[in-house]
Amino acid sequence: MKDVTKENLEGIGCDEEQEKTNSRPLQTDWSSLNTMGLPGVVDASYRDPPSDQKLRLRSNCPLVETSNSIWNFQENEWRLTFVDGEETSLLYSKHEKIALQDFDGEVRPAIDVEQFLDQDCVLLLDEDVAVSQNYSSPAELVDLLLGRMGLSATVAEEAKTILFTNDSVPTLRRTIQAIYSSKDKSKGEFEYDESWVCTVADVPSLMKRHTAIIRLKQPTNMGDTCHDVQLFVLILCPVKEKSTKNGLETGRTFATLLADANIRRQLLEVTTDKEFKRLMLNRTQELIDEQRQSRAAVPIKLDSDVQSKTKSVETKKNIWKFGQFGQGIREDLCRRLPHYISDYVDGVVGQKTPQKVLSTTFFLYFACLLPAIAFGVLNDHNTHGKIGVKKVIMGQTIGGLFFAIFGGQPLLILLTTAPLALYIKVISSICDDFQLDFFAMYGCVGLWCAFFLLIFSLFNVSRLMHWCTRSTEEIFGLFISVAFCVDACRDTAKNFQKNFYSSQCQGENAITNITNSLSSSLTFYSWNDTRANDSAEAIADPNEEPMGVECNQASSVLFLLLMLGTVWLGVSIFNFKKTPFLSAGKREILADYALPIAVVTMSFVGSFFFREVKAEPFRYDDSENVFTVTPLERLPGLAIAGAMGLGFALSLLILMDQNISSAMVNTPLNNLKKGPAYHWDLFVMAILTAALSAVGLPWMHALVPHSPLHARALADVEERVHQGHVYQIIVRVRETRLTVLFSHILIGLSIMLLPYPLAYIPPAVLNGLFLYVAVTGLGGNQMFERISLFFTEQSAYPPNHYIRRVPQRKIHQFTGCQLAQLMLMCLFGFVPWPYMKMIFPVILLSLLPIRHLIVPRVVEDRFLKALDSSEH
Amino acid sequence: MKDVTKENLEGIGCDEEQEKTNSRPLQTDWSSLNTMGLPGVVDASYRDPPSDQKLRLRSNCPLVETSNSIWNFQENEWRLTFVDGEETSLLYSKHEKIALQDFDGEVRPAIDVEQFLDQDCVLLLDEDVAVSQNYSSPAELVDLLLGRMGLSATVAEEAKTILFTNDSVPTLRRTIQAIYSSKDKSKGEFEYDESWVCTVADVPSLMKRHTAIIRLKQPTNMGDTCHDVQLFVLILCPVKEKSTKNGLETGRTFATLLADANIRRQLLEVTTDKEFKRLMLNRTQELIDEQRQSRAAVPIKLDSDVQSKTKSVETKKNIWKFGQFGQGIREDLCRRLPHYISDYVDGVVGQKTPQKVLSTTFFLYFACLLPAIAFGVLNDHNTHGKIGVKKVIMGQTIGGLFFAIFGGQPLLILLTTAPLALYIKVISSICDDFQLDFFAMYGCVGLWCAFFLLIFSLFNVSRLMHWCTRSTEEIFGLFISVAFCVDACRDTAKNFQKNFYSSQCQGENAITNITNSLSSSLTFYSWNDTRANDSAEAIADPNEEPMGVECNQASSVLFLLLMLGTVWLGVSIFNFKKTPFLSAGKREILADYALPIAVVTMSFVGSFFFREVKAEPFRYDDSENVFTVTPLERLPGLAIAGAMGLGFALSLLILMDQNISSAMVNTPLNNLKKGPAYHWDLFVMAILTAALSAVGLPWMHALVPHSPLHARALADVEERVHQGHVYQIIVRVRETRLTVLFSHILIGLSIMLLPYPLAYIPPAVLNGLFLYVAVTGLGGNQMFERISLFFTEQSAYPPNHYIRRVPQRKIHQFTGCQLAQLMLMCLFGFVPWPYMKMIFPVILLSLLPIRHLIVPRVVEDRFLKALDSSEH
């Protein structure tokens, strides 16, 4: 209607008596209509409202076609004004339903209310004699409250510009109101609770939070959806505030309090601020109690971590009943066998599945082959060539294929590991000390181990994992990452020791100094003598030891360069999906191939660009026998008994590592559908260990972080943004056996690539791969997240479940406990005495009682539930 | 009122006749009130509304105190339901004023409307015979329109869940409406235009944009603020859409169209879709015209880049009048002299100023001293030691202090540079060829150059810079970054050539091979012979050439490691302020000291951890004379004439480099307050050049990116987030002379640190610094941003001014033009023949005519205004 101003109409003879110069009231006199939610109660008069009549009336008039609006460009935006000075602007409105505050579960709401009560910010206008004025607009109320808060003029002014949409449009920018909706949701009927409104603002220059409530004398019309406001809540927050303390969260707390009509009625009745505050406090306590009772009545998921993890029907009471012989295996088979066909089919069908399977196959190929080579080199050194690279690769192939076909949880990745290499080393040195046959002793230990594993699996010892919570898994995960880093550092140090600080280098340096001083004096008479010697002879001079400890500083520096280069390149490509470059699809493919690309690129750099630097390829004996049947008969009886001890320790290690890896794969966050198979997997491991031991191949067990990374590589991940923080949620994991199968076939074929081109992969790149795995394996590790919170500023704390539910001090205390446990593990894990390292499985096992007996004395049980929940 | 249900009241004997079971209509019968904006027209009846009466009535009843609401925790959130099945939830509303669409300036709106017209999505319900139903709620309209759009069922369902707030609260989630506000803004009166509403949604699985408009038979009540809707616009956009094409932007376009009542009236009158569409198209064209006329009427800032840059009053016509002798210098002095005291004071007073001045001093110290050393080494090599490290540092000190005290724009940083080193090299080789005295020739060229600079400054040649636009500055900036990278690569290659691929290494390798094969056969008879020789003699064997070209592969690899380490560490610390760690203040301090930290750390790593690796410190002759008075009298006449040519080329180089650097410092984005001083600066440079030439110190000129980085280091930066993209805006720059003064005093004192500890800084770190400066110097370079757009996915394009105003193809064409110019510069800049490089200043000068004569033939002038504007 803005186009037809009075002047215009007069000018063309269309004057309308009933139109006032101020056209605004026209709209209000027929706005007495239902809100949209009530189609049933439609006012009959509204189908022909006055303005509609006018519109039709006007359209019959010969109107001037020229526009009487004026565009003008001010302050970097267009303004559209009319001849009468009115301005049109656009208002963009957004309505979100927000959840009611969780007073019982979260820690902030109660504190928020208490802090509010400490402030003197309740205004009962009907009681306050000093304020006799009638307040009818939010602007007036806000002015009044800002005055009471004692803010400086500039801050108050800033708060006002933020509270209201615009100078010319003084609506409240952000409000929270209650909505009533009928239980029959299909009707979609709803209604605003117009009796109160809460408005929030985040103000940059504010220093602390302010909350104020005003009670009006009588219901006041404050604009749309606020037609009879009696309670007005104003919340101002600093911008740099913890996200659980920001405007919206605080608003949610007070809105939840006021959402109940009972409390509102009582609040309207009280006569003094004190009563008002007391009521608020009581209501808060009531709410906590009500919610707690409600939560207790219904089985809430919070308590069900353990159950949901194993998806078994056992209750906590009977988990100590290990006795039901073979029951675990039976249950596992019942669970997994029906999925056996789909374990293959799922690797073929589905959107993006072939692509993911391919990239995961290559990931696994490099992630398994390279450690196999690395540990092969290590074992070769420890056993004086008895177990070499070739054997390790063969063992990897056999073990991987065997487990891929018969294993219960095909997402697990088996590898030989550093602790296993340690056992092999200990056995080797025992054999040296007591003049025993290495393979006989090795086989004997392995068979004992297999025997114990069999016992464990048949007597359902894996039920111990009921006590293994997320916290233990995370400590273990972090320990493994640390261990990989320590391994890489140790290898680097070893290389530097050998090539950089070799006696030859020291000597050369010293000698060069002498040379410099001597050469001038010596040259003149020694020149001809030395010249006379054959040059080949001079070089073959034994002092130079060309084949022994050579001074090859370049090799060490290159080692460092390649190692750091590999991890940097890998991690950069892995994180490339966070950039806006290329398309989403291409970024994902690139990230999937991060490891292979990094390894191949840096191997090329190392072996081609720096081919001049003398690098040492790994020791490889082509004549080596791959299978060595264990000559058990050569072992004396005492050795067999000793082997039993070693075998038991070894079986404990495999039990723990296998089960923790399995638990980390089966975490509810991975959203797996086919269920775990702890007992059956252990049974398969027993058979595999026996077989490997019998032919002298290295042992293996499921590994962290390879197994969780495998699950992640096969996953479809969705990013969800919540309050500015990005969360990754695994939607679906392709639970297939094909990736392990394919990659291990490739690994088996790789034996033909020995020694070249596999030897072109420099050892530095192997170590870079360890670091890469250590870094990427930390993704989703909440313990690591919480450690980084120590250094993070408060306002950047993510508003996740534990930040909401647990006081900050308790969070840090819990992280501290975990760090202490990690330290304990590191102490026993990296101690330089091999025999002390062997009790490591026991330490690992002791984490369970520590978590359940000691930690609860520091952090209360209800907080532990939030911190140590595997649901988030 | 929810607390008192009928059952409850009956139970306690408080039955109220007038209360209906469904309590909802209670609210509607007195909601016939004004909207907030109309305090003047208050309905008298409302002061005592019925519900208020009831409330009072009730409060007299002995109410049960127990709550009849039920809390229950479902789907991870609390639900509050009442006994009658109604549910309470919280609605969070946000109202933002958005700007009207710029139809004239931006390219998308017209295209958006055209694309809309191509779709068959106008529904005139009064004409459509098939649809006889009355539509009265948004849900029904949306269903109807979604059906017409031909979306698949799943997408339509998804769109619906996104369009509406919630199942139980079916309000439109995001709407755009017009608001009328009176011209007297203090009153704060406003009114919704309730006759139309536009709703938008970004739907993830949608493939293309859909826009639909529906015209209703008669004004329909659609809930709050939409009481008489006749036009309903529905916009669906894919989520992964360019930000200028997203839901809100498209909505803004259509809302701007409908904001004018004229067009709405016409749209309501038309009878067919075609007419409707034709009207929309006409209106779009009209809007473009109206806005264009309005913009033309008022002097818009877009045209004023050049004027605002130099802040001079000259119009374009008289910029070719170079003749007004000394006018430029006069104006510069008038502008800068009043600020002279404040140039010092501003470096002391103000929040965070001392801290910024300190960090900037250290930044400048390293950023100037290290290149001085690097170019000193280069000049030393080129002039056979005539101009060495010591002279360069002394020149740097004198030049820096002189300019800091007398210069017009104290933010400029003077340095000797690679092109200047080239001139010195050419002079040196000319002197060698013609047997001239180097210092005489050098002084003569320098004095000629100073003479020309004096002429330039007196005849206001710097007014040429009127033609130097942002585009030229950016090409130059990018070229300098490329040049730094090329320098670093060249140094690396040189090092590898010398140490890694030295003949000695080749020989050694070859010999080692021979040794391996020979040693076995030779050893047995040569053993004793060689053993007999004195070991010292064997080492002094001239074949090994210990002092000459040595095989030092480790040094080369270490060079690479340290160089990459320096740039990585520096850039990581520089970007640390983007992390959430530590506090904002500490992060900023850390970022300020990024360069010093990186240089010191990597120097320590290089010189301490790798002290075993034989590195070559730079050549330093302690006996070198710092000042060599130019023996001009030794020069023949012909040489003086030749020197004039060289001097002129050199003066052109200094003119261009100095002025472009100055223009980049004085960019409006830096928000400098004290104004530029192009002419006076050139005058000072003339004097400085003469002085330096007279005593045989190296020349200098203002440098990119040091000068802009200096301004940035002294700035207070504010981050602004707009549509998810973060923009950095410089609020204030401390325009002080103190930083350059302090840092150059330190540099002067550093002469005492020669050769040690300065020689502990490895050359690799110097090159790392070059790379660091090259990388950080690219910040804010729009050309670089636009190059990266080539690889960026559409949806991540920032919605900045040029993306809005220029079609994408044109943006890329413009970037292509710039790349071509950059290539031209690289061609002449990096050509291996020094004499061809000398015409580089002419090429640099030619960029101005290219930009103003050739580029406009590719990209239209109006787009160039947006792309090449220095305002954004």
User: B784-797 pLDDT, tens per residue?
Assistant: 999 999 999 888 88
With H, G, I as helix, E, B as strand and everything else as coil, classify residue A292.
Answer: helix
Higher pLDDT, B13 or A511: A511
Pairwise CB contact (< 8 Å): B183 & A49: no
Percent of chain B whose predicted confidence (pLDDT) is above 90 = 24
Backbone angles phi, psi at B68, to 5 degrees: -100, 20
Express each pLDDT in A90-125 by its tens digit.
888 888 888 888 888 888 888 888 888 888 778 887
**Confidence (pLDDT) at A463:** 84
- Residue (of A139, A123, A121) closest to A131 by Cα position: A123
DSSP states along B791-810: TB-GGG----HHHHHS-HHH
Express each pLDDT in B173-204 by its tens digit.
899 998 887 766 556 677 888 889 999 998 88
Q: How many CA atoms lie within 13 A of A443 on its CB side?
A: 18
**Contact A97/B at CB under 8 A:** yes
**Confidence (pLDDT) at A612:** 75
**Confidence (pLDDT) at B85:** 74
**Confidence (pLDDT) at B662:** 92
Higher pLDDT, A88 or B60: A88
**Confidence (pLDDT) at A707:** 92
- Residue (of A226, A283, A660) closest to A476 by Cα position: A660
**Confidence (pLDDT) at A775:** 92
Distance from CA of A709 to the nearest CA of B (A): 26
Chain B residues 160-219 with a CB less than 8 Å from chain A: 165-185, 188-194, 218-219
Pairwise CB contact (< 8 Å): A99 & B78: yes
Q: Which two tokens stand for residue A137?
A: 């607009």
Closest residue on chain B to A546 (Cα): B512
Query: Taking residues A264-284, what's their average pLDDT?
Result: 88
Mean pLDDT lowest among A621-625, B517-521, B550-554, B570-574:
B517-521
pLDDT at A489 over 50: yes
What's the first-to-final CA gap in chain B, in angstroms?
55
Express each pLDDT in A777-818 by its tens digit.
888 788 999 999 999 988 888 888 888 889 999 999 999 999
Out of A59, A557, A793, the one facing B554 most closely (by C-beta) is A557
Q: Evaluate the omega torsion of the peptide bond into residue B636 and state whether it is cis, within 30 degrees of 0.
A: no
Express each pLDDT in A712-734 by its tens digit.
999 988 888 776 677 788 888 99
pLDDT at A296 over 70: yes
Distance from CA of B239 to the nearest CA of A (A): 13
Pairwise CB contact (< 8 Å): B185 & A174: no
pTM of the complete model: 0.81
Q: Residue A570 region, left (φ>0) first, then alpha (ψ -120 to 50), else beta?
A: alpha
The residue whose two tokens read 């056995």 is A427
**Rounded (5°) CA angle B251-B254-B256:** 105
Which candidate in B95, B265, B521, B559 is best for mutational testing of the A interface (most A CBs within 10 A)?
B95
Out of B28, B170, B179, the one facing A41 most closely (by C-beta) is B28
Pairwise CB contact (< 8 Å): A25 & B41: yes
Express each pLDDT in A605-657 by its tens digit.
988 888 877 767 777 776 667 787 888 888 888 888 889 988 998 999 999 89
Q: How many whole angstroms separate alpha carbon A761 and alpha carbon A763?
A: 7
Q: How many whole angstroms separate alpha carbon A843 and alpha carbon B627?
A: 73
**Confidence (pLDDT) at A744:** 95
Q: How many whole angstroms separate alpha carbon A299 and alpha carbon A307?
A: 12
Query: DSSP class of residue B230?
Result: E
Query: DSSP class of residue A797?
Result: -
**Confidence (pLDDT) at A321:** 57
Closest residue on chain A to B34 (Cα): A28
| Continuous H helices in A270-388 | 273-297, 305-310, 327-336, 340-345, 353-382
How far from A96 is each of A245, B514, B674, B792, CA to CA, in Å? 19, 80, 49, 32
Express each pLDDT in B632-648 by its tens digit.
888 888 888 889 988 99
Distance from CA of B80 to the nearest CA of A (A): 8
Express each pLDDT in B104-127 by its tens digit.
888 888 888 888 888 877 888 765
Mean pLDDT lowest among A396-405, B43-52, B78-87, B618-627:
B43-52
**Confidence (pLDDT) at B183:** 65
- Residue (of B827, B864, B360) closest to B591 by Cα position: B360
Mean pLDDT lowest among A20-34, A687-701, B709-723:
A20-34
- Residue (of A663, A833, A761, A94) closest to A389 by Cα position: A761
**Confidence (pLDDT) at A516:** 45
Query: Taking residues B620-630, what's their average pLDDT?
Result: 75
Chain A residues 595-654 with a CB less than 8 Å from chain B: 610, 612-614
**Contact B241/A at CB under 8 A:** no
Backbone angles phi, psi at B792, to 5 degrees: -95, 145
Query: Taking residues A850-867, what's their average pLDDT?
Result: 90
Mean pLDDT lowest among A52-56, B159-163, B468-472, B685-689:
A52-56
Chain B residues 297-336 with a CB less than 8 Å from chain A: 298, 300
Model confidence band, residue B262 (pLDDT cutoffs 50, 70, 90): confident
**Confidence (pLDDT) at A188:** 61
Q: What is the mean pLDDT of chain B?
A: 79
**Beta B87-98 vs B210-220: how paired, if at all?**
unpaired
Kindly state the helix (H) or strand (E) to which residue A505 belongs, with its residue range.
helix A503-532
**Confidence (pLDDT) at A870:** 74
**Contact A63/B at CB under 8 A:** yes
Q: Which two tokens stand for residue A63?
A: 């109107």
pLDDT at B43 over 70: no
Q: How many whole angstroms separate alpha carbon A202 and alpha carbon A251?
A: 11
Mean pLDDT lowest among B289-298, B365-374, B565-574:
B289-298
Out of B97, B170, B560, the one facing A188 most closely (by C-beta) is B170
Express each pLDDT in A542-551 by its tens digit.
343 334 456 7
Express each pLDDT in B370-383 by its tens digit.
889 888 888 888 88
A631 in Cβ contact with A639 (< 8 Å): no
Query: Taking residues B714-729, what's their average pLDDT?
Result: 81
Chain A residues 545-574 with a CB less than 8 Å from chain B: 546-547, 552-554, 556-558, 560-561, 564, 568
Pairwise CB contact (< 8 Å): A89 & B553: no
Provide, as residue numbers in chain B, all residues whose Cβ is less than 8 Å from the Cβ of A52: 218-219, 228
pLDDT at B618 over 80: no
**Contact A291/B at CB under 8 A:** yes
**Rounded (5°) CA angle A640-A646-A649:** 145
Q: How many whole angstroms separate alpha carbon B91 and alpha carbon B173?
A: 11
**Confidence (pLDDT) at A532:** 37
Provide, as residue numbers in chain A, all residues whose Cβ is less than 8 Å from the Cβ of B298: 72-73
**Contact B831/A at CB under 8 A:** no
pLDDT at B212 over 80: yes
Which candidate in B137, B169, B509 is best for mutational testing of the A interface (most A CBs within 10 A)?
B169
Higher pLDDT, A611 or B345: B345
pLDDT at B512 over 80: no
The residue whose two tokens read 């604009």 is A223
**Confidence (pLDDT) at B187:** 60
Express each pLDDT in A436-468 by its tens digit.
889 999 999 999 999 999 999 998 888 888 888
| Continuous H helices in B435-502 | 438-458, 470-495
B640 in Cβ contact with B703 (< 8 Å): no
Model confidence band, residue B99 (pLDDT cutoffs 50, 70, 90): confident
Distance from CA of B87 to the nearest CA of A (A): 5
**Confidence (pLDDT) at B693:** 92
pLDDT at B628 over 90: no
Model confidence band, residue A840 (pLDDT cutoffs 50, 70, 90): confident
- Residue (of A606, A212, A294, A640) closest to A446 by Cα position: A640
Backbone angles phi, psi at B215, to 5 degrees: -110, 125
pLDDT at B287 over 60: yes
Closest residue on chain A to B170 (Cα): A188
Q: Residue B675 region, left (φ>0) first, then alpha (ψ -120 to 50), else beta?
A: left
Query: Taking residues B668-678, what's their average pLDDT?
Result: 89
Model confidence band, residue B323 (pLDDT cutoffs 50, 70, 90): low
